[in-house]
Amino acid sequence: MQYHLEGFAPGDPAVLPVAAGVDEPGSTEPPGEVDVLVIGCGPAGLTLATQLAAFPEITTRIVDQKLGPLRIGQADGVACRSMEMFETFGFCDRVMKEAYWVNETTFWRADDTDPDRIARADRIQDVEDGLSEFPHTILSQARIHDFFLDTMATSPRRLAPDYGRRFTGLTVDASEESDTPTHPVTATLERVDPGHEGEIETVRARYLVGCDGARSTVRTSLGLALRGDAANKIWGVMDLLAVTDFPDIRLKSAIQSASEGSVLVIPREGGYMVRMYTELGELEPDERAADRNITADEIIAAAQRVLHPFHLDVKEVAWWSVYEIGQRLSDTFDDAAAVGDDRSSPRVFITGDACHTHSPKAGQGMNVSMADSFNLGWKLASVVLGRCTPDILRTYSDERQAVAQELIDFDRDMANLFGARAGPIRQSNDEIADRAEFQEYFTKHARFTAGVETRYDTSMITHAPTHQRLASGLTIGKRFHSEAVVRLADAKPVHLGHIIKADGRWRIFVFADANDPAVPSSRLARLCAFLQDSPDSPVGRYTPPGADVDSVIDVRAVCQHSHRDVAIGSMPAFLLPRKGRLGLVDYEKIFCPDTRRGPDIFDSRGIDRAHGCTIVVRPDQYVAHVVPLDDHSGLAAFFVGFMSDPPPPT
């Protein structure tokens, strides 16, 4: 963590200096004109608002019809990829400290000698080694919300939600050009908080994002609908404090009985609580879960039947709900595509459950919703700040709709397999194959559930894999897979990917070739000279006058040599930039492999040692391009496709 750049400042460095002219939340009336209006304080809305709150220049408002923050219940699974995202926001350590870590998963089925009893069929590692430096965790969605809210509150904007506002509709003034700094979106909010019921607020915004759940009013306002399979199965979910002799109560366990249905056991944080998803049967074609009037006692009884011969003595139910399994998806995630407008850039977007719904057992709902907003947030910020052309906003729907479709397909198969009746452990070869299908599917798709298999197609911000061979382990379109390195200046072991923060900056990682990186004729030195001095340099071209050299594009170098064999004073000056009002030197731009704590990054990520390469990484941690070290024009040309030149100094 770097601080004191603008002079010594005592206190907690995580509390960022407040932006000029920003009032404390609640001290003044909420603004009626904003850059971005976010509807909904679920995980999607809070992810988006937290990212936007990091930019002092951007005015963001987030509203929700609830009267306050979420306190109990709802989602709890946090995929490895989401943990990587939390690291960019600075609260991953807090999640790891509180959460349950999913280390192993067990599978239970009908016993071969007595099908009315269940017996353990297998026990496996939950996440394969090396998939991520972070674990798969379980933590209440309410606590995840708390961490986002804390980060928003200490951001330069000191952002806090405006609760008690129900979104009722919007209009978009099509007469205004999409690339002008106007506020064409007008939203209407009805207050529902005590003492203000029925009061109407009107907010004008440059952009509006609907993060308002499966019954999204924003989606309806755009004329969009969720399409897909009708719900046909009903499940109960409960957070329990219970006493049981079931031996795997503190392990994630998938249980399929012969005749009483299925249960998924998810241990919760704190060491005592457990969540159980319990199958409750099928729905008639026109029936809804609410029609059954199912009680908590009925869900407990169903779980007890599945767990036989083990006992489940429930002492307290912390939260419970009944839900239907159905997979639905919106055809598009923005207003431009909704009306077939291929010229104007979108102004209104939907994220999370507003554009895709599915069962919760795969643990993807909250994770994919947050990933939607993480994809959109930096794009909105870049356009509002004038760094990128509005055309990049079209990539949000293209990228995330494809991911959601993949999730829907996965969830449908997962739900069907989990709900299938399972026979005894020992059966005929055909029956054994059928019985094992769910477990095999679970294992095969572990990377998908970990969130690391997302791959974005080629677009203006994701280049074709022309030179992928130079970095076979850093796939273009997939997330930048971090690895242990040593920082040259202070010999500190760090993870390279952890320097990527949710600050909207692009990253260029320069992996040196086998030559001495300090020699002026080396590929690394020549690239640094280009980035520092050439009029075609993307760093020079897109950095605003007077701003720090890394304010838009942050360049870091990784040498092949040991950190004890590289003299920092002989490295290119571009990698030791002077920054801030005091002209202080940034010593954290150069790294070397850490072979004591992990594999050599050049080996584990398949970097071509003879030639090296340049890796361009998007602000959301996804690899955008792999470029030869000496292809300076190719590197520059990539950024030309979507970046905007900063305005001249006044």
> What's the token pair of residue 95?
């999640």
Classify 26 in phi/psi space as left (phi over 0), alpha (psi -120 to 50) or beta.
left
Pick the catalytic residue: 35, 111, 162, 277? 277
SS3 at position 629: coil
> What's the token pair of residue 259?
């005749």
User: At CB < 8 A and 24+ separation, what contacts does 546-550 make?
Assistant: 546/649, 548/577, 548/579, 548/580, 549/574, 549/577, 549/579, 550/505, 550/577, 550/579, 550/586
Cα–Cα dist 14/16, whole Å: 6
What are the φ and ψ backbone dihedral angles of 77, each rounded to 5 degrees? -80, 130
DSSP state string for 376-431: HHHHHHHHHTTSB-GGGGHHHHHHHHHHHHHHHHHHHHHHHHHHS---BSS--HHH
Pick the catalytic residue: 35, 64, 76, 513? 76
61 given a catalytic annotation: no
Residue 27 contacts residue 58 (beta carbons within 8 Å)? no
List Cα–Cα distances, 199 to 169, 192, 193, 218, in angstroms.
Answer: 15, 8, 9, 20
Residue 373 contacts residue 211 (beta carbons within 8 Å)? yes
| CB neighbour list of residue 356: distance below 8 Å, 6 or more residues apart | 226, 328, 329, 330, 368, 404, 407, 408
Pick the catalytic residue: 81, 219, 268, 387? 268
587 given a catalytic annotation: no
Residue 379 contacts residue 396 (beta carbons within 8 Å)? yes
Residue 239 contacts residue 268 (beta carbons within 8 Å)? yes
The residue whose two tokens read 């995330």 is 400
245 given a catalytic annotation: no
Q: Which residue(s) pair with 36 in the sheet?
A: 60, 207
Pick the catalytic residue: 360, 424, 538, 577? 360
| Measured distance between the N- and C-terminal CA atoms of the chain, rounded to whole angstroms | 33
Residue 349 contacts residue 207 (beta carbons within 8 Å)? yes
At 239, which helix (H) or strand (E)? strand 233-244
> What's the token pair of residue 264?
């998924």
The residue whose two tokens read 């004329």 is 223
Residue 350 contacts residue 322 (beta carbons within 8 Å)? no
Q: In what order do the strands lie in the sheet with 118-125?
A: 118-125, 104-110, 252-256, 262-267, 273-282, 233-244, 312-325
114 given a catalytic annotation: no
- Single-letter residue type at 76: D
Cα–Cα dist 396/334, whole Å: 8
Neighbours of 324 (CB within 10 A): 17
**Which residues are annotated as catalytic?**
76, 268, 277, 360
